[in-house]
Structure 1
Amino acid sequence: MKLKFNYRIILKYLFIPGIILTVAGLVVGLTTKDWSILPLSLVIAGGILLVSWLLFLLITGRSFWNKRSTQAGTNALVSTISLITILGIINFIAVRYSSPIDLTENQLFTLSPQTQEIVKNLKNPLKVWIFIKDTNPIDKKLLENYRRYNQNFEFEFVDPDTNLGLTKKFNVESLGDVYLEYGDKRQLAQTLIAFNTPQPLSEIQLTNAIEKIQRDYTPTIYFLQGHGEYSLEKSQQETEGSISTAISNLENKGYKVEPLNLVETGIPDDADTIIIAGPKRKLFDQEVKELKTYSNQGGNLLVLLNPNTETGLETILEEWGVKLDNRIVIDGSSSLGPAIPLINSYGSHPITKEFSNGMSFYPLSRPIDTVKVDNVEATSLLVANDQMWAENDLESEELTFDPTQDIAGPFDLGVALVRQINPQEENQNQSSQSSSNTEEKKTENPTNSPLPDDKKDNKQSDAVNQKTTKLETNKNTESRIVVVGNSTFITDTLFNQQLNGDVFLNSVQWLANQDDQPLSIRPKEAKNRRINLTPLQGGILTWLTLVIFPLLGLAAASVTWWRRR
């Protein structure tokens, strides 16, 4: 018996292999992004089958299209194709123009505003070399986020065992070393393996390294000491607190930090900025005179003064139009306490322009007032809101605003000032100061000089010339001062809280004339969210999640089924 082969049945269902082949070809081509012979052949074969099927339907007549089953099937086919097409377009757009949403508390998967600005401002190619065997996908994702903001940013993972040439070129000493290459400069940024323990790539260290490698020289920051200021190093014997965290952050950003005792050494020639942080005793007149001369000659000062403290700096600040008030700032709306004002309003200044409504706080602060002075431009930095006032009577049982004695907000807790200077007058002042210093030394000790007078004068003249050359090179045409009525915000316990550290670091960067680099909010460290469980707690949690809760759900479903049966 011969079976008659029915071609009509095959043609009737020809669309099924046609759709399968077409979809398979599109998936292979879009996934691999390689439209080679295989995906093209699949798409063409599927298209031929679909066209053949459509021709068969047209030839067989209208009766086929009038069938109810045909109409229902066609509607289902069109709906399916439309849905697949829409989903494909959505996925294509999502992959091509991805915009991730970071829901973490500190925006850990989003580059900080400072990092974004620094990378955007890269004018020359910069490459990150990671010498490690296995690529960490989290580190790679972080570097890809950097590259999104500037094509001048490049990175490459290198196996130090197989690429000995690059390993020798960068003098790699440890597995996991991360190096930056910027022009002819090379710099170690981080080591990803410490004590045989892998560590993730740090945005803070990488951004600081990028900022540091672009500098032509290392700015030097001096902290005044000898009047009860905070210790620069953390010590167990230190009861007044230290600012070691602030120091380490400055050093990580590429600054050279040194203590300064004006009684012993005077002001060094390489002082880009002098920081006076919370002195508790009055400075000597000679110290005040040296700081005043330094400021008049283009030097920059960061002055952090607590209430009820006479420092001797008042005469310098008055010349700049700054008046200090000994009242204590009270914040009636603060959740931390009335004497801890929360600042979320900032002036329009490079130091604070990126802060928006971010918070910083300053325990036991004093208000600052400014008056108009010729050739001095003052700008508010930290602005107290109308819920704050400066309290005069702290012995009262209830802190309430008294308009006859207190100062109502808004007022300033911090200001930045700029004064234009005349380089010629500056050099003359320097020469006269050096000459007077020379005469004083001759008078005080005329017989102990190891050099003849003419040679000593030449040495003093050379020092003046070197200082003048340095100033001409730096082109300091203005002097800058930042004054804040509080110093505790930079202590170790408060530095990393909210924007406290950013206020300090941005102030130093602006004072050191490094504001060609972006002043913004620095990256934050990841918080440890791990829950440390005992073995008993871990066992209980395992039984609850894998056994007890599923059994309770199954029991509830069984009871419901039994009742409805």
Structure 2
Amino acid sequence: MRSVKILPAHWPSLRSLFWTGPVLLVMGLSAGFVSGTWGPIVLGLLTPGMFICSLWLWFQVTGQRFWSQRSTQVGGNALVATLAVLVILGLVNFLGVRYDTRIDLTEKQLFTLSPQSQQVVKELKQPVKVWVFSGQLTSPDRSLLENFHRQNPTQFSFEVVDPQAQPALVQKFDVKEFGDVFLESGKRRQFLQSVRENRLSESKLVNALAQLNNGRQTQVYFLQGHGEHSLESGQGAFSAAVKALEAKSILSKPLNLAVTGKVPGDASVVVVAGPQQTLLEGEAKALEAYLKQGGNLLLLIDPNTNPGLETLLKSWGVTLDNAIAIDASGRGQLVGLNPAAPLVTHYGDSPITRDFGNNTSFYPLARPLEITPVDGVKSTPLLLTNEQSWAETDLQSQDLKFDANADRRGPLILGVALSRPATSSSSPSPAAKPGATPSPQKPESRLVVIGNSQFAMDGLFDRVLNGDVFLNSVTWLGQQHDSILSIRPKEDANRRLTITTEQGRLLSLLALGVLPLLAFGTATFLWWQRR
């Protein structure tokens, strides 16, 4: 007769306690892998876990027909499955802590920094700290600052300050109200914005950082006096463009060369936006002299106009066609554009357009450009139409049809960026305001010519990439920080639905009257069919 070992009577109650062994083992292993250290706490979890598991195995092995029992097999499977799940969860948590990966599923990638922002933060040359004087920071604002910090943890940091708890800092930064945000780098401090009513702007922050990298202020002058677009709000104005430049910490001023005679010495860029009358000979020569001194000029010239800059453009190898670009592909009509407003999806390899990809911009009534090679001048086409476009020379005709004898087949160049070494040194102009800091001219002159000005006026500036073409052109011409040129940081899309009173009444009638009656009628019909 075989001897049978009898387990203690209280074995069933003790068996449930043995589950603490695997739990302690998993906790210890997870803590060790995640923290990367195997200190007293980790060992304090692993040691009793191993002891309890060993004790459980000893009790089970000494029992009768242990391995052949069905309960042993079921319990072993359950134990293995439980341990596998716990190990997987531990590994997932370990990988999540060790490798920080974020996936932005929003339509416009609102929680991902733009390429421009990432480049600016990565190239910070000195530590920069953002001070937010607010009792608390909203989740989107904190997420934005944390995204900046991740790009360059050693150079970018931020701190949220309670103004009531730290009055010394409030006095140091001259804080006016709760929510003020300041940027500090070394001894430089500048007010950024207030987050009391508005969210923290990625655009304002990245442009302030770029300004710190550059070390000087960009000053843009808009030529006036020849029918150019106004800088004030109004039909056909450039007020949206001016506001966008201000958001990039770029100052804008009007310029009348008939009064000043010379381009001011602090001019980083001069913009000639859609002149309707011919410039005076002295004004054209002033622009030529400015370019020779290492200046930077943006020309936006519409069809059927003569700005009187033929000599200047010829020296750079640019000719303005007396024609209109026609897009016969039909793609523009899908978004409400006519053939005389070519839709551009092909861009040149320039810092201005390099990150545009296949995104779109459009140019109502644009004139093509012809580029001729000139010694010492580097030219890069910016805006290229498709192969189904042509340059229409008959500007009076209402019937748009390609004429092989007179018209030029596409692709057409609508914009070009040019550069060449400066031919003379510059000196501060007497036209500059007293006390103004002259903008140090570069040994390189830059010129951007676009055969259209309407793409950047109010109402069209914020459409697709139109504003980016203008802003990136000005930034490239300013020669401050070529590597930050990219698509502007994206803003939230306004998805609020605005309806009239009549539409509201109609929706109420449908919701409270028509739909219930339709449901009741359907139910009545089904009941009648089943009778």
CA gap of 1:324–1:179, structure 2 versus 1, over 3 A, is same
Residue 315 of structure 1 corresponds to: 311
Q: State the one-letter code of the partner of 1:502.
A: D
1:514 to 473, 480, 485: 480
Which whole-Å CA distance do the structure 1 matches of 2:507 and 2:184 have between them? 47
Query: How far 1:159 moved relative to its partner?
Result: 0.2
SS at match of 1:480: strand
2:53 to 50, 55, 58: 50
Residue 123 of structure 2 corresponds to: 121
Q: Does 1:327 align with 2:323?
A: yes
CA gap of 1:56–1:109, structure 2 versus 1, over 3 A, is same
Which whole-Å CA distance do the structure 2 matches of 1:531 and 1:45 have between them? 62
CA gap of 1:20–1:87, structure 2 versus 1, over 3 A, is closer
Which whole-Å CA distance do the structure 2 matches of 1:80 and 1:539 have between them? 55
Residue 436 of structure 1 corresponds to: none
CA gap of 1:279–1:94, structure 2 versus 1, over 3 A, is same
Residue 254 of structure 2 corresponds to: 259
Query: How far 1:541 moved relative to its partner?
Result: 11
Instruction: Note if contact 1:118-1:518 (Cα within 8 Å) is conserved in structure 2.
Output: yes
Q: Does 1:350 align with 2:351?
A: yes
Instruction: Note if contact 2:125-2:213 (Cα within 8 Å) is conserved in structure 1.
Output: no
Residue 495 of structure 1 corresponds to: 461
Query: How far 1:70 moved relative to its partner?
Result: 1.4
Residue 184 of structure 1 corresponds to: 187
1:101-140 equivalences under 5 Å are: 101-140=103-142
Residue 281 of structure 2 corresponds to: 285
Which whole-Å CA distance do the structure 2 matches of 1:253 and 1:167 have between them? 26
Q: Does 1:407 align with 2:408?
A: yes
Query: How far 1:290 moved relative to its partner?
Result: 1.7
Instruction: Note if contact 1:349-1:379 (Cα within 8 Å) is conserved in structure 2.
Output: yes
Q: Does 1:143 align with 2:145?
A: yes
Residue 19 of structure 1 corresponds to: 22
Instruction: Note if contact 1:211-1:517 (Cα within 8 Å) is conserved in structure 2.
Output: no
SS at match of 1:64: coil
Which whole-Å CA distance do the structure 1 matches of 2:29 and 2:113 have between them? 36
Residue 276 of structure 1 corresponds to: 272
Deviations 1:460-496 (A, max 9, x none): x9969x99xx99x935322111000000111011111
Deviations 1:1-51 (A, max 9, x none): xxx952554565553233355556678899999999777645543332111
Which whole-Å CA distance do the structure 2 matches of 1:292 and 1:13 have between them? 91
1:209-288 equivalences under 5 Å are: 209-235=208-234, 239=235, 241-267=236-262, 268-288=264-284
Deviations 1:250-270 (A, max 9, x none): 222222221111111122222
Q: Does 1:199 align with 2:198?
A: yes
Q: State the one-letter code of the partner of 1:217.
A: R
Query: How far 1:190 moved relative to its partner?
Result: 0.8
Q: Does 1:387 align with 2:388?
A: yes
Which whole-Å CA distance do the structure 1 matches of 2:144 and 2:512 have between them? 37
Which whole-Å CA distance do the structure 2 matches of 1:542 and 1:35 have between them? 64
CA gap of 1:41–1:103, structure 2 versus 1, over 3 A, is same
Q: Which has the higher mean CA deviation after the structures are superposed, 214-223 or 164-173?
A: 214-223
- Mind listing any 5+ residue stretches in structure 1 that lack a counterpart? 431-460
Residue 93 of structure 1 corresponds to: 95
CA gap of 1:171–1:29, structure 2 versus 1, over 3 A, is farther
Q: State the one-letter code of the partner of 1:384.
A: T
Residue 4 of structure 2 corresponds to: none
CA gap of 1:105–1:266, structure 2 versus 1, over 3 A, is farther
Which whole-Å CA distance do the structure 2 matches of 1:358 and 1:130 have between them? 36
Which whole-Å CA distance do the structure 2 matches of 1:73 and 1:397 have between them? 87
Deviations 1:393-427 (A, max 9, x none): 3555543323222211122110111122344xx57
Instruction: Note if contact 1:187-1:213 (Cα within 8 Å) is conserved in structure 2.
Output: no
Residue 78 of structure 1 corresponds to: 80
Identical counterparts, % of pairs: 47
Instruction: Note if contact 2:30-2:91 (Cα within 8 Å) is conserved in structure 1.
Output: no
Query: How far 1:84 moved relative to its partner?
Result: 2.6
1:19-38 equivalences under 5 Å are: 19-22=22-25
CA gap of 1:178–1:517, structure 2 versus 1, over 3 A, is farther
CA gap of 1:517–1:26, structure 2 versus 1, over 3 A, is same
Query: How far 1:169 moved relative to its partner?
Result: 1.1
Which whole-Å CA distance do the structure 1 matches of 2:328 and 2:379 have between them? 28
Q: State the one-letter code of the partner of 1:527.
A: A
SS at match of 2:252: strand
Which whole-Å CA distance do the structure 2 matches of 1:543 and 1:117 have between them? 54
Instruction: Note if contact 1:416-1:480 (Cα within 8 Å) is conserved in structure 2.
Output: yes
Query: How far 1:351 moved relative to its partner?
Result: 1.4
Instruction: Note if contact 2:220-2:252 (Cα within 8 Å) is conserved in structure 1.
Output: yes
Residue 3 of structure 2 corresponds to: none
Q: State the one-letter code of the partner of 2:319.
A: K
How big is the alpha-carbon RMSD for the aligned residues of Structure 1 and Structure 2? 3.5
Q: State the one-letter code of the partner of 2:418.
A: L
TM-score (ref. length: structure 1): 0.80
Query: How far 1:537 moved relative to its partner?
Result: 9.8
Q: Which has the higher mean CA deviation after the structures are superposed, 177-186 or 534-543?
A: 534-543
Deviations 1:186-220 (A, max 9, x none): 01111011xxxx32211112112222333322222
CA gap of 1:462–1:341, structure 2 versus 1, over 3 A, is closer
What is the total number of aligned residue pairs between the two structures? Answer: 500
Instruction: Note if contact 1:11-1:53 (Cα within 8 Å) is conserved in structure 2.
Output: no
Deviations 1:325-360 (A, max 9, x none): 021111123232211111111111111122222211
Q: Does 1:295 align with 2:291?
A: yes
Q: State the one-letter code of the partner of 1:407.
A: R
Q: State the one-letter code of the partner of 1:230.
A: H
- Mind listing any 5+ residue stretches in structure 2 that lack a counterpart? 1-6
Residue 495 of structure 2 corresponds to: 529
Instruction: Note if contact 1:180-1:186 (Cα within 8 Å) is conserved in structure 2.
Output: yes
SS at match of 1:504: helix
Instruction: Note if contact 1:299-1:479 (Cα within 8 Å) is conserved in structure 2.
Output: yes
CA gap of 1:312–1:536, structure 2 versus 1, over 3 A, is closer
Query: How far 1:53 moved relative to its partner?
Result: 0.5
Which whole-Å CA distance do the structure 2 matches of 1:36 and 1:131 have between them? 40
1:475-486 equivalences under 5 Å are: 476-486=442-452
